[in-house]
Amino acid sequence: MTSATREFLAPTTSRERRRLLPVVAVLIGLGGALVSFLGSWIPSYWGDEAASVMSAERPLATLWPELGRVDAVHGTYYLFLHLWIDLFGASELSVRLPSALAIGVAVAGVVVLAARLFSTRVAITAGIVMAVLPRTTVMGEEGRSYAIGTAIAVWLTVLMVHLVVTRSTRLLPWIVYGVGLALSIYVFLYLILLAGAHLIYLVVMRPQLGSTFRRMLGRWAGAVVLGIALSTPLLVFGLSQHNQISFLSHRHYMTFERLVVLQWFGNRPLALVGWLLVIVGIVLGLRRQTARGLAARGLAARGLAVRRQTVLIATWMLLPPLVLIAGNSLIAPMYSIRYLSFCTPAVAILVALAISAVPWTWARIAAVLAIVALAAPTWAAERGQYAKDGGSDLRQTAAVVAAHARPGDAIVFDETIRNSRKPRLALHLYPKDFTGLLDVGLITPYQRTAGLWDVVGPAPAADLVGVRTVWAVESSASLAPADIRHLQGLGYAVTHAFPVHRSTVYELTLETS
C-alpha cells in the first residue's frame, strides 16, 4: 500500500484537522448553496412547483382536506412553505431559496461524513463533487422537498456513523435517531429506505463492535420502530394515495437514459466519467482495509475497515434504486428520477474515493476541475428561461397577458392537457399579471375544493355579456383549440396571436354585425 493510498484511507484524526473540519465543512457548504442558488430565479415555475405554491398559499383549514385526499407525502413541506411564503413571499427566488440552503447543509454534512469515514482529502473532494453534480443543482433550485430530504439523509447518516463508531448503547441518542428517521419520512416517504443501508452498515461492522453488537442492533431496531410509529399517519395516508403516482406507468420513466445518465449526472460525458469513478471508488474501498495504513501512521486505535465503510456508502447509493426498480417492475409504478435524489451524497463520496486515491496533487485537482467542467453545461441549461418540465413558460405567458390585456377583459385557459401543464396555473402563480380580468371558465376555486386544482368548464355565454375582448391561453401543440372554437361560436374572432414557448396567447374580439 502506497503512502498516498494510506493517507486517503486514513480517517481524519489529528486535532488540528478536527478543529478545522467544521470551518471547512461550512465554507464548502456555503459554496454548494451558492452554486445551487445562482440563477435559480430565472426559470419559470412548473407544474410540481405550482402544486407546492398553491398548496402553501391556501388557508390551513382547506389544506387538511387536500392532504387527506392527495399529496399527503408532501404535507410537511407544504406546511413549511406556508410559513415561509407568509414571511418572504411567493417569488421563484423566495420559494427556491430553502432548497439552495438545504443543499448547503447537505454538502457540509457530506464533508463531515466523508472525513469521519475516510479522510480530509476525501471529504473536501466529496463536498466539491456533491456541490456540482447536476442532480444536486437541480433539486437545489426547485420548490420541492427533495433538497431538504437529502440534507436530513446526510446528517442522519452522520449520526448513525457516530453511534456505531462510538459503540453507543445509550438510549437518548438512539431516540434522536428514531425521531430523525420519522422526520425524514415526513419530508419524503422514500427516505425510509435509508434505514436499510444503515442496517447493512451495522451488520458489516459486527467484527469491530464485538459484544456490543447485539445491544446496538436492538437499539437500532427500537429506533426504527419508533420512527415508523411516529410516521404512521403519513404512511397510512401515503399508501392510501398510491394511485396518485399511477401516471408513472404510462410516462415510461424507467429507461436506461434516466437510470444511468440523468439520475445523477445530467449528461452523457459526465455520466461516463462519473460511473467509471464510482466503480473505481467501490473497488478501491472494498479491496483496501485501513489496518496496515493506520498502523503505519500510529492511528491503529481508531482503525475501522474501509471495506465496511465503503459498504455503507455503496449500499446508500445502490439499495434504494434497486428497491424502486424491483417494485416498479413487480408491484406498481414507483420510480422517478427525483425520488432518488437523497442518494446523491453517496455518489459524490464514491467519486471522491476514486479521485483521492490518485497520488499526484495536480492530477486530483485536474480530475475535480474536469467534473466541474462536465457539469457546467447542465448547470447552465437548468437555469434557462424554459428549463423546467421540458419548457414551462408560465411566467412568460403571464407577462404577455399583462402587457396586452385590459381590466374588464375576460380570459380562458386550455383545459385539454394534463393538470401539471395547464396554463391556468399561471393565474395562481403570477396573480398580479391577471388583475382585473374575468375568469369566466372558473366554477370552483381550488381553495374551496379538497384537491389541487380549480374546477372549470366552458365559458358560459351569460358571463360574456358586455365583454368585447377575451384572451385564450392555449397549448401551442393544439391546432384547433376547443376554447377558440367555443368562443367563435359565441361571435368572437381571433384578432391577434402571441406565441410564447409552448403556449400561445390569443386575443379574440367580439364581431360587430
Lowest mean per-residue pLDDT among 34-48, 122-136, 387-401, 468-482: 468-482
One domain, residues 223 and 360? yes
- Same domain (yes/no): 417, 341: no
411 assigned to some structural domain: yes
pTM for this prediction? 0.92
Is there a single domain that holds both residue 253 and residue 296?
yes
Residue 103 covered by a domain: yes
| Tally of structural domains, the chain | 2
Q: Judge if 384 and 430 occupy the same domain.
A: no
Same domain, 376 and 400: no
| Burial of residue 261, with CB atoms counted within 10 A of its CB: 0-12 exposed, 13-18 middle, 19 or more buried | buried
Whether residues 87 and 113 fall in one domain: yes
Whether residue 140 contacts residue 103, with contact meaning beta carbons closer than 8 Å, is answered with yes
Phi, then psi, of 505 in degrees rounded to 5: -100, 120
* Same domain, yes or no: 43 and 158: yes
Tell me: do 323 and 403 sit in the same domain: no
Residues 286, 151 within the same domain? yes
473 and 353 assigned to the same domain: no
How far is 307 from 203, CA to CA, in rounded Å? 13
285 shares a domain with 214: yes
Q: Domain for residue 144, yes or no? A: yes
Whether residue 485 is contained in a domain is answered as yes
Most confident of 148-162, 238-252, 272-286: 148-162
CB 474 within 8 A of CB 484: yes
The whole domain housing 114 covers 9-389
When the pLDDT of each residue in the chain is averaged and rounded to a whole number, the result is 91
Residue 310 has pLDDT above 50, yes or no: yes
Q: What's the average model confidence in pLDDT over 242-259?
A: 70
Q: Residues 157, 299: one domain?
A: yes
Within-domain flag for 2: no
The answer as to whether 155 is a domain residue is yes
Domain-embedded: residue 3 = no
Assign residue 436 a region (left: φ > 0; alpha: ψ between -120 and 50; beta: otherwise): left
Residue 4 located in a structural domain: no
User: In the chain, how long is the greatest CA-to-CA distance?
Assistant: 97
Is pLDDT at 112 greater than 50 in this prediction?
A: yes
Place of cell 377575451: 470
Query: Tell me: the pLDDT tens digits for 3-62?
Result: 544 544 555 555 666 778 999 999 999 999 999 999 999 999 999 999 999 999 999 999
Domain C-terminal end among 338, 359, 389: 389
* Predicted pLDDT of residue 239: 82
- Domain termination residue (choose one: 342, 365, 389): 389
Q: Which of 389, 419, 443 is the last residue of a domain?
A: 389
